Amino acid sequence: MSRPYGFDTLQIHAGARPDSATGARQTPIYQTTAYVFRDADHAAALFNLQEVGFIYSRLTNPTVAVLQERMATLEGGAGAVCCSSGHGAQIMALFPLMRPGCNVVASNRLYGGTITQFSQTIRRFGWSARFVDFDDLDAVAAAVDDDTRAIFCESISNPGGYITDLDAIAAIAERAGLPLIVDNTTATPYLCRPIEHGATLVVHSLTKYLTGNGTVTGGCIIDSGRFDWSASGKFPSLSEPEPAYHGLKFHETFGPLAFTFHGIAIGLRDLGMTLNPQAAHYTLMGIETLSLRMQRHCENAVKVASWLEKDPRIAYVTYAGLPSSPWYHRVETICPRGASSLFTFSLKAGYEACMKLIDAVEIFSHVANLGDTRSLIIHSASTTHRQLTPEQQVAAGAAPDVVRVSIGIEDADDLIADLDQALTQAHA
């Protein structure tokens, strides 16, 4: 067939084919640690990376390989590496780029866990992050110095309803000769394809909308295959002889697949943040219905957010899918199919009313997760952001009077009725 397949076809078929041994139509869970070599020469060729195949499931596994190919296809990349969590994917994405003393220029609007990972934990590796307002393009460019090795942001940022102007940030990265890494977890490739806006690498938490039903912890890095790792001399792990792989030059040998092969042959081999085949299977099941779910997530989020915004008990709603959002104008260019289903709202009655609301909802689940078929709710100030000062809570979009919701794919009218009765109880 000559015409390219559409997204809905690819989310079901990309990377998968009937099992060659049994004809099984669904991708089997290859629950095995190791793979029998044909003979001694075959084993030697695999270990030399002269032949691609399966050796040991810390590196590669047939079920995980299907998911990697599907993610690469859906994001429009050259290759992908799955790993054990979204946070694992972020470390795995930075690992080949960084050295002690190097920094990443990062948006100050990121998932809270990423702020902690970047501001605290990566310092133990001698890396650092410089947080900048990504709407201030001059500040982003000014934050880049000779030790910068990457620029990092989220397409739709969790949870404040912020959308990054990816094209403008990609232009800065290109001028600086640096890779742009985009966390596309909240948008998914159905709503936004960062590589089309100039991203070099895309990272995901598979845990959220991609698996979609709260069963898996997983991550993925997709490489656009477009970055010239040899141009600047700044990325020796990819361009120079790799001592941890008997002097192999990854970029020279593997071209657009250099980052992917390095991620498997060095990253997974030595860091071991491997996705297990069972988790890959659940995620493949989830992705088969991604477009249908995301359409409903977005439709429901618009309905619930619009209703909340008109309710006199609500101070404000931060959802980029509402015309009142300062970032609504970016929906059309960055995520034209919708702004996903994660947002916050503020109660005029403040902290105590938020606590009562959380206890009064019936359909919404009170959990620290997002991107589930179920609607989820959390009061960040008393939970995930509890350790922060009141000033830090406000800056993080988690003020004491703010509640975060992840709108599921239930009947929107039921969700609105649930919030209505819970608000009534919260004000009683």
User: Which residue(s) pair with 89 in the sheet?
Assistant: none
**How far apart are CB 395 and ligand PLP at their closest, in Å?**
18
Report the residue closest to ligand PLP, judged by CB. Answer: 86
As measured in angstroms, the least distance from the Cβ of 113 to ligand PLP is 5
Q: Are strands 180-183 and 162-163 parallel, antiparallel or unpaired?
A: unpaired
- How large is the angle between the packed helices 290-310 and 412-426, nearest 10 degrees? 40
372 binds ligand PLP (CB under 6 A): no
Site stretch for ligand PLP (CB under 6 A), options 101-109, 121-129, 205-213, 386-394: 205-213
Q: Which stretch binds ligand PLP (CB under 6 A): 30-38, 84-92, 252-260, 278-286?
A: 84-92
Residue among 164, 166, 162, 190 at smallest CA distance from 180: 166
Alpha carbons 394 and 102: distance in angstroms, whole number = 30
The rounded distance, in Å, linking the Cα atoms of 189 and 129 is: 26
Residue closer to ligand PLP, measured from CB, 334 or 423 = 334
Which one among 27, 61, 63, 85 touches ligand PLP, defined by CB under 6 A?
85
Q: Does 397 sit near ligand PLP (CB under 6 A)?
A: no
Closer Cβ to ligand PLP, 32 or 384, answer by number: 384
Closest residue by Cα to residue 242 from 223, 225, 264: 264
Report the candidate in 113, 110, 147 with the shortest Cα–Cα distance to residue 131: 110
Residue identified by tokens 């039921």 is 414
Determine the interface stretch with ligand PLP among 123-131, 178-186, 232-240, 347-355 (rule: CB under 6 A).
178-186
- Pick left, alpha or beta for residue 145 (phi over 0 → left; psi -120 to 50 → alpha; otherwise beta): beta
Where residue 353 falls (left for φ over 0; alpha for ψ -120 to 50; beta otherwise) is: alpha
222 CB contacts (<8 Å, ≥6 apart)? 71, 72, 75, 77, 79, 80, 195, 201, 202, 203, 204
Min. distance of Cβ 121 from ligand PLP in angstroms?
13
Residue 333 corresponds to which amino acid?
T
Interaction between residue 297 and ligand PLP (CB under 6 A): no
Can you read off the two tokens belonging to residue 282? 């659940």
Minimum separation from the CB atom of position 159 to ligand PLP (A): 9
By CB under 6 A, tell whether 183 contacts ligand PLP: yes
Question: Binding pattern to ligand PLP, positions 93-112, x when CB under 6 A?
Answer: ------------------x-
Residue 341 binds ligand PLP (CB under 6 A): no
Is 184 in contact with 151 (CB distance < 8 Å)? no
Name the phi and psi angles at 150, rounded to 5.
-165, 155
Is 189 one of the binding residues for ligand PLP (CB under 6 A)? no
One character per residue 143-172, x = contact with ligand PLP (rule: CB under 6 A): -----------x---x--------------
Residues 253, 256, 257, 259, Cα dihedral to 10°? 100
The answer to whether 276 contacts ligand PLP (rule: CB under 6 A) is: no
Distance CA 199, CA 189 (A): 13
The binder of ligand PLP chosen from 86, 198, 321, 338 (CB under 6 A): 86
Told to check if 283 binds ligand PLP by CB under 6 A, we report: no
Among 63, 114, 155, 188, binds ligand PLP (CB under 6 A): 114
Instruction: Choose one: 187-195, 202-210, 237-245, 358-366; the region binding ligand PLP (CB under 6 A).
Output: 202-210
Count of positions on this chain that bind ligand PLP (CB under 6 A): 17
- Contact positions vs ligand PLP (CB under 6 A): 85-87, 111, 113-114, 154, 158, 183, 185-186, 205, 207-208, 217, 219, 370
